[in-house]
Amino acid sequence: MKKSALCMIIVFASLVCGQANVYVYEADETTPFDYRDIMAGTKLTLIVRSDSNNYWSGGLFIGGGNRAFGTLSARDYDANTRNYAGSHFEEAGRFAKVTGWKDSSIWGFDMFTFYPVYGDFNSKDTSAGDWFIIDYEAKKAGECKVGFYDYSISWNEPVYYLTFTQVRSRDFNNDKKVDFEDYAILASNWNKTDCKDPNWCAGTDLNLDGNVDCNDLLGFIDFWLWPELPNIEVTNGTEPQGLVDSNIIIRLVDIDDNNEITIDVNESITLYLRLTTTEQAGLSVFDVEAMISDTNLGSIDNREYNPNAPNDPNNGTARILAEPRDPFFDYVGPGYEQPEGITLIAANLGEADFNDGNLASFVFTCRGQGDVTVSLKSYLTDLYPRVESILIHQVDLNSQPMVMSSSIPAMESSQALENIDVSELAAWLEEIWANDPNLRETTTEDDWAQFVETVKNLEE
């Protein structure tokens, strides 16, 4: 039950006709909130908006156990009128009012576009638009529900709830930002294994498992440089459709910067995560997974390369290449969504961003004929960067006619020979033999030499 004694609302409820809804924005009051997980300490703004100019009354309230997780506040309280004048806009009308209510079960604010004490019923000057604004602050980890009431429908039960999912603070030093000083606190507790309630190693054991490890690092970097606002990409000028910073791009390419290539079955090739940024943006952390569209046609070596054991047959080939970086944050391993894929993580939490260029590399091996896409997914709060995949066309030499012989034009007349440099063609065929291991697996050296010799004889 919301309230048991507010007779004025009961009397006034019959006058309420307007349509209103509440919209949630970041603290800047203009960026739509995307309902991502938020950190304790995050501030949001709740704006009540209507497409009507009718009378309306309602409220925003937090009740029961939810009060431990979040708080609501209104603006510019006037003790003489008991009105939060800064929490209603001009469109709400001259007689609008915001009042607070707090009892043993519920806290929040009532909102009116027409307050009978102040005027008569013929003085309505409400217009469609933004009517009221209330501030919300996440207090601690957990789920908080804020009830939105429309008293024309019910003054006991909310029309709906706004639900905010909140995680533990990464602001370890409580200076209202997540930056290098918080990183230093995390680093000073790195690899501790005895974290306990209530301190949890200065708050750095974010998942409360007793250890400060890579899992906590990932949770920390998700909020790096908080409370900077997300760069939200808006479609149709209304609601956010995705969180992508087009100034930061990670592409999956081969050594020659190609994102569409052709390789032979059983061939292995090194692929690179390549970073490109603009002057407007930089990247200091990445947590990326590479996934194969068809694991029957290809495989990724998701083992980390150990430079101290280069000749170990069990040594992996995946490397972190980003510079500058803090190496003890490096991580290489199986993918999250696709274990056959690969996860690559690195961070540089100092003042510098990663240099443009190669961030990491791994080896992909073709296992069958057909097209395969290796795609990337970023786990940095789905904010950035923009990621681009690579398309690999895979061919089987054993199932196709010999490419070299079929590519040589028919030479049935001296006229055709006039346009061919036979010695250059023969040299090219010898070079192919020397550089293509797949070719050497499909034919013998003697057979290839005889083929090259027949080409040379064409000049006679």
What pLDDT shows up at residue 414? 38
All CATH 1.10.1330 domain ranges in the chain, comma separated: 169-228
Question: 109 with 118: CB under 8 angstroms?
Answer: no
What pLDDT shows up at residue 427? 72
What pLDDT shows up at residue 240? 39
* pTM for this predicted structure: 0.61
What pLDDT shows up at residue 310? 81
Fold classification of 243-397 is: Immunoglobulin-like (2.60.40)
What pLDDT shows up at residue 438? 59
Fold classification of 169-228 is: Type 1 dockerin domain (1.10.1330)
What pLDDT shows up at residue 433? 65
What pLDDT shows up at residue 235? 39
All CATH 2.60.40.680 domain ranges in the chain, comma separated: 243-397
Domain 7-167 falls under CATH 2.30.30: no
- Per the DSSP assignment, residues forming a β-bridge with 41 are none
HEC states along the chain?
Answer: CCCCCCHHHHHHHHHCCCCEEEEEEECCCCCECCCCCEECCCEEEEEEEECCCCCCEEEEEEEHHHHHCEEEECCCEECCCCEEHHHECHHHCCCCEEEEEECCCEEEEEEECCCCCCCCCCCCCCCCEEEEEEEEEECCCEEEEEEEEECCCCCCCCCEEEEEEEECCCCCCCCCCCCHHHHHHHHHCCCCCCCCCCCCCCCCCCCCCCCCCHHHHHHHHCCCCCCCCCCCEECCCCCEEECCCCCEEEEEECCCCCCEEEEECCCEEEEEEEEEECCCCCCCEEEEEEEECCCCCEEECCCECCCCCCCCCCCCCEEECCCCCCHHHCEEEECCCCCCCEEEEEECCCCCCCCCEEEEEEEEEECCCEEEEEEEEECCCCCCCEEECEEEEEECHHHCCCHHHHHCCCCCCHHHHCCCCHHHHHHHHHHHHHHCHHHHHHCCHHHHHHHHHHHHHCCC
What pLDDT shows up at residue 428? 63
Residue 137 CA to residue 123 CA, distance in Å, equals 36
Residues of the chain below pLDDT 70: 1-18, 115-124, 229-244, 380-384, 397-422, 424-426, 428-429, 432-433, 435-444, 447-448, 450-452, 454-460
What pLDDT shows up at residue 424? 66
What pLDDT shows up at residue 413? 35
pLDDT per residue as tens digits for the range 10-59: 333 334 445 789 999 999 898 899 888 999 999 999 999 998 888 889 99
What pLDDT shows up at residue 144? 96
